[in-house]
Structure 1
Amino acid sequence: MPAARDLDPMAGRNQAFGAEVRRLRLEAVLTQAELGARIGYSSSQVGAVEIGKRPPTTQFITRSEEVFGPGLRKLWAELSRHKDMAPKWFRPWLDEEAEAVSLKTWQPLVVPGLLQTEAYARVLLRCEPGFGHEQVETLVAARLDRQEILNRTSPPMYLVILDEGVLSRPVGSPKIMREQLSHLVKAAEAPHITIQITPLGANPGLNGAIVIAQASDRQRHTVYLETVGQPVVSSNPDLIATVTMKLDALRAESLPRSASLELIRKMVEKWTSRLN
């Protein structure tokens, strides 16, 4: 197991919780085996939680608080706040997204949630039927919380392929669009974020948005597919292969990174001109 100083609480939700468990255990002068014996887990299970390899169960948290005192339940709730706000069907995807080392997405209609500005996200969520003001604000906060995975110490590689129509589709006011597209340009300065634009016209991705998450073991992939009803979250190998082929075809039709960013900058200027 890595030494305590090597644990990185900024690497993700599981890692932040695990780092705190490790800190408390060392303060109590307990080995992983000794803590495990007290809470009913093996030393390897304790170690897996400490390095963020596995999330804690409710039982793990409850029994750990019997040893260390209160605080871990509150910490896990805070770290999981964005997940608790999400619909139940979306929660498995949030786990995959949070722990992924690579995310690839195709978006034919709007900017993906991980790159949306607060104002842009608010306009989109207000369009959803049945959402009141309080629910919209809660979901906006949750969406912004999710974006923290791109700012952590070891963020996932993030490939974003956008249909050119996303840049010209008015979502809110010209000011909101200018802010959103400027944010895309700024985000693309990060070495782990690549944004490419697919020119207008027919392409194999017009049926809906795609996101593919690659797990830390580099073997497991999970796909998220937008639909009119409940989106699909699946790790079916045949579906993964089909979707990966489609995403590769879309990228082949897209502008190179530099040309894509230049196009986004030109659209920022167009939206700016509409402010007057």
Structure 2
Amino acid sequence: MSFHNGGLGRFLKFARSKSGFTQEQLAERLNVSTSLIAKFETNRLIPKSDTARHLDAVFDSGDTFQESAAEARAFSGDSVWIRPWLEYEQYATMVRSFQPTVVPGLLQTEEYARAILRDAGTRVPDLEETVASRIARAGILRRDEEPCRLFAVVDEAVLRRPVGGPKVMSGQLHAIVQACALPNVSVAVVPASVGAYPGLNGPLALATVDGRNVAFLDDPLDGRVVEDPDRVAALEEVWESIREYALPAQPSLELIMEAAESWS
């Protein structure tokens, strides 16, 4: 069972009332303030991971509060326009991504994400909340039941651009190498030696949800979900054509590792 931010607050209030706790009593059990419980129940705040774990222990609810808080966090820090895509992404069985300029969001480290969001002029309501939500999204790659399959293609320029400085880049590229050790994650690189190719038209992502595909296109102002089957099919062709320019899996991994070492 999972909820977005609004449903999480209602569920907490229901669980507390059913168990016979007042807000004051629950606050005492969790060693937090009563006002914090009130903010959780009115969706003004999302429980942090340790608090969510304590809530699951108090209500004997398995991982319900932990999973729901992580999911709510994945939506709360992002702009309204991206939320429809996040809905699809959370339930996707496969995501295909192409990025010509930055590391795909599902593979970003906290430090890299913070540098991108801080320095690239991205309009976000709250930097730290948005960083946390971006990192939480990667949970789909490691979920217990049917982890999402990720096929990512990046331009070599992504490996060479000093986002956040050498230390951040080294950590980011080593994190990609570690992610590729997962059986459901693969990253291919379009080498710098390639001239013009379809990827120069910009980033795109495709998600497979309930047996159908949807796409997401990003731009400097916002982004949009594409659901029309004909347009999605056209974008799938673009993604496949981009992949044809990428190196095979092992040479791609070796190039990423070489780039990681160059930042050390």
Common fold: TM-score over 0.5: yes
CA distance 1:235–1:168, shift in 2 (3 Å) = same
Aligned positions of 1:59-78 closer than 5 A: 65=14, 69=18, 75=65, 76=68
> Matched residues in 1 for 2:205 and 2:83: separation?
15
Q: Cα deviations across residues 22-43 of structure 1 (Å, max 9, x unaligned)?
A: xxxxxxxxxxxxxxxxxxxxxx
> Matched residues in 2 for 1:110 and 1:78: separation?
24
> Matched residues in 2 for 1:143 and 1:86: separation?
8
Correspondence 1:199 to 2:191: yes
RMSD: 3.0
Q: Cα deviations across residues 65-87 of structure 1 (Å, max 9, x unaligned)?
A: 39972799784456422212221
> Matched residues in 2 for 1:56 and 1:127: separation?
28
1:208 to 199, 202, 211: 202
2:96 counterpart SS class: strand
Q: Cα deviations across residues 182-222 of structure 1 (Å, max 9, x unaligned)?
A: 1111100100001101122211011211110001x21x211
Aligned positions of 1:182-261 closer than 5 A: 182-200=174-192, 201-215=195-209, 217-218=210-211, 220-261=212-253
Whether contact under 8 Å (2:82, 2:224) holds in the other structure is: no
Whether contact under 8 Å (2:73, 2:132) holds in the other structure is: no
> Matched residues in 2 for 1:97 and 1:82: separation?
11
Aligned residue pairs, count: 218
> Matched residues in 2 for 1:249 and 1:207: separation?
12
> Matched residues in 2 for 1:130 and 1:186: separation?
27
> Matched residues in 2 for 1:235 and 1:130: separation?
25
Q: Cα deviations across residues 65-118 of structure 1 (Å, max 9, x unaligned)?
A: 399727997844564222122211111111100000000000000001110111
CA distance 1:239–1:266, shift in 2 (3 Å) = same
1:206 counterpart SS class: helix
TM-score by structure 1 length?
A: 0.71
CA distance 1:262–1:86, shift in 2 (3 Å) = same
CA distance 1:66–1:226, shift in 2 (3 Å) = closer
CA distance 1:17–1:180, shift in 2 (3 Å) = same
CA distance 1:67–1:99, shift in 2 (3 Å) = same
> Matched residues in 1 for 2:123 and 2:197: separation?
33
> Matched residues in 1 for 2:136 and 2:18: separation?
28
TM-score by structure 2 length?
A: 0.74
> Matched residues in 1 for 2:123 and 2:174: separation?
28
1:149 counterpart SS class: helix
- Matched residues, percent identical? 35
Equivalent residue number for residue 99 of structure 1 = 91
2:102 counterpart SS class: coil
Shift of 1:230: 1.4
1:137 to 113, 121, 128: 128
CA distance 1:199–1:129, shift in 2 (3 Å) = closer
> Matched residues in 1 for 2:70 and 2:159: separation?
35
1:221 counterpart SS class: strand
> Matched residues in 1 for 2:235 and 2:252: separation?
23
